[in-house]
Amino acid sequence: MSTNTYRKVRTRPRRSDKSPQVLRYIQDVGQIGAATLLAVTMLGSSVIAGGLVGLAVSFRNLPDVRVLRNYSPSETSYVYDVKGTLLDSIHDEANREVVDFNDISPNLKRAVLAIEDSYYYSHSGINPSGIGRAALANFGAGSTVQGGSTVTMQLVKNLFLSPERTLSRKLVEVVLAMRIEQIFKKDEIFELYLNQVYWGHNTYGAQTAAQSYFGKSVKDLTLAEAAMMAGLIQAPESYSPFVDYDIAKQRQRIVLQRMRELNWITAEAQAAAKAQPIALGKITSFRSSQAPYVTDAVLTELTEQFGAEAMAKGGMRIQTTIDLGMQKIAEDTVADSYYRFFGGGAYADQIALVAIDPRTHFVKALVGGVDHKSSQFNRAVQSRRQPGSAFKPFVYYAAFASGKYGPDSIIDDSPVTYPDGYNYYTPKNYDSSFMGSIPLRKALETSRNIPAVKLGQSVGINRVVEIARTIGIKSPIDPVISLPLGAVDLTPLELAGAYATFANYGWHSDPTLIMQVTDSSGNVILDNTPKPQLVLDSWASAALTDVLQGVISHGTATNAQIGRPAAGKTGTTDSQRDVWFVGYVPQLATAVWVGNDDYRPLGRGATGGGYAAPVWQSFMMQALRDEPVENFRPPSEFVRP
């Protein structure tokens, strides 16, 4: 039986549920006199075997061990970055990774059998003479040097029975062990056992134990390491080298001595194993995520799709789109900016940052706050805040795509009033001044409000909403007159994804943190290979990018200059509660939000150019350090609508 065939159900070894059928059976058996049971167990092995088989036939409430053909222990799920670096592991109380029998070190197989069941391959599930020999050996040594139960009996106990120590339960254990031996091959049973057994520190199965104790795969265990691991099984928490290294070494010597007595190793191998220095690893069951805001978002998305149990017990392998190196730059930039620019919260208590590759719409870095330990709320994906003027590019794109406007078209920056239901709406510029007739280019570079509102009315607010939906904005949007000025609540992830589409000349994929998910058998269950579609007009997108470069070079975001072509837009709400900068180069689009969770104003004069643009600049200069400088394609390379 291959490992893959039993990865469908889960259980918790050493904490097995009490099967109702087994309980009823135990109650039946419990009615038999203790003296009679004791007498039966004292008979010769052949008599015992025949008698127990007869009992197994007569008692019909025993569990059907054939369910093991479709059995799978619960397994840990792992989250990796785009390059395969482990970010986090997710599991319930059983931290386990299942491996095939052939991928387990022969050293460990021999060591476990030597101390737990040295006659495993010659008995049929029970070994009365072996139990007697183990009792005598343990008595003579003054400690447990040999196991009494066979490997098969231990497996039965872990999978089907309660931990209580009664004669009736022991009888059930024996009967089920014999039944398993009739149905499964020895290697199949041993494989189940090695993947099921508890090794301490919330670690189950040989592979996870080897990774925890020695920082290596179970297939690579040396004789010395295998002997130490085998010695832990009888009392893993007490014998753990993490708890008491001297006791663990003592247990190792006992296992090696038993292997030598069995002639399974030479005297030279025994001596070499005793002398080998042991380099311990780290307990893996309680590690923290290397990118907690990222893994939180990933787990939330996958839990909604596959369910919490599948995440905690299904052995998924989750490859994210995150570049851990860039993620660390983003986290460090946010933390450093918090203290350097905002006095450690005196003006702003939170910053969020999202970086997306425009070519794939893969999220490369995501930071949901200044410090995950103090606040797990993920502002990058959960917090919707008004973008202010960072929403204006949606309106300007709509104008360019309409065919009626170009970057040098003239618009009148002068007072205007619109009827708004029973009231009137009069937009104002940030500085309350007017520039008169100006090109659209200058209106966006200097972030004039009145031209943006006039453009919105010209192209139609519903058209602006339609464009926002087309490039990934899923938050509620009301088609109000003030929408061009950012009268909508959006997440940093949404804005970064939308700007990434502008950066890629209208080619769009849904932004994602997850590249691929496989199950424990390697079957792909989620594949987010980019499938870009051209959803915007390329000329209009290139024209918008051309104008947005002026915002950085000589407009409201000169603090975002990074020494290479870049485009972007500042955003500031009227009350200074939210400030933004969202910008991009051909390889990376990044949104930065700065604000307070309680919506407290940042202070008079706070702007996206003064507060958010420097954070963006700091991150982009580090993130792009090894990236070649690329120029944007000019609008002239595309056909104008």
Strand 86-90 and strand 95-96: the pairing is unpaired
- Among 346, 391, 349, which Cα is nearest to 573's? 391
CA–CA distance, 231 with 218 (Å, rounded to integer): 15
Task: Point out the catalytic residue in the list 89, 285, 337, 389.
Answer: 389
Assigned token pair, 30: 């419990």
Helix then strand then coil, in percent of the chain rounded to 5, is 45, 15, 40
Give the three-state DSSP class for 333.
Answer: helix
595: CB partners within 8 A, 6+ apart = 348, 350, 385, 577, 578, 579, 602
Assigned token pair, 14: 């050493």
Residue 515 exposed, middle or buried by CB count within 10 Å (0-12, 13-18, 19+): buried
Q: How many CA atoms lie within 13 A of 78 on its CB side?
A: 18
494: CB partners within 8 A, 6+ apart = 472, 473, 474, 475
- Among 69, 98, 99, which Cα is nearest to 180's? 69
Task: Point out the catalytic residue in the list 75, 77, 97, 116.
Answer: 116
Q: How many helices (DSSP H) and strands (DSSP E) are in the chain? A: 23, 18
The sign of the dihedral angle between the CA atoms of 404, 407, 408, 413 is positive
Return the C-alpha torsion angle 502, 504, 506, 509, nearest 10.
Answer: -100
Residue 139 CB coordination number (10 Å): 10
Assigned token pair, 611: 């507060």
Assigned token pair, 188: 């199949």
Strand partners, 323: none
To the query of whether residue 116 is one of the catalytic residues in this protein, the response is yes
Q: How many CA atoms lie within 13 A of 460 on its CB side?
A: 7
Write out 193-261 in H/E/C secondary structure.
HHHHCECCCCEECHHHHHHHHHCCCHHHCCHHHHHHHHCCCCCHHHHCCCCCHHHHHHHHHHHHHHHHH
To the query of whether residue 225 is one of the catalytic residues in this protein, the response is no
CA–CA distance, 590 with 613 (Å, rounded to integer): 11
The sign of the dihedral angle between the CA atoms of 321, 322, 326, 329 is positive
CA–CA distance, 357 with 175 (Å, rounded to integer): 61
Q: Which amino acid is at 75?
A: E
Strand partners, 518: 317, 524
For the chain, the distance separating the N- and C-terminal CA atoms, rounded to the nearest angstrom, is 64
Read off φ and ψ for residue 489, nearest 5 degrees.
-105, 125
Return the C-alpha torsion angle 398, 402, 408, 413, nearest 10.
Answer: -60
Q: Give, in order, the Cα–Cα distances in Å from 539 to each of 188, 224, 536, 588.
A: 64, 68, 9, 20
DSSP 353: E
CA–CA distance, 18 with 103 (Å, rounded to integer): 32
355: CB partners within 8 A, 6+ apart = 326, 330, 363, 364, 365, 366, 496, 588, 589, 590, 619, 623
CA–CA distance, 210 with 95 (Å, rounded to integer): 12
Query: Active-site residues: which are they?
Result: 116, 389
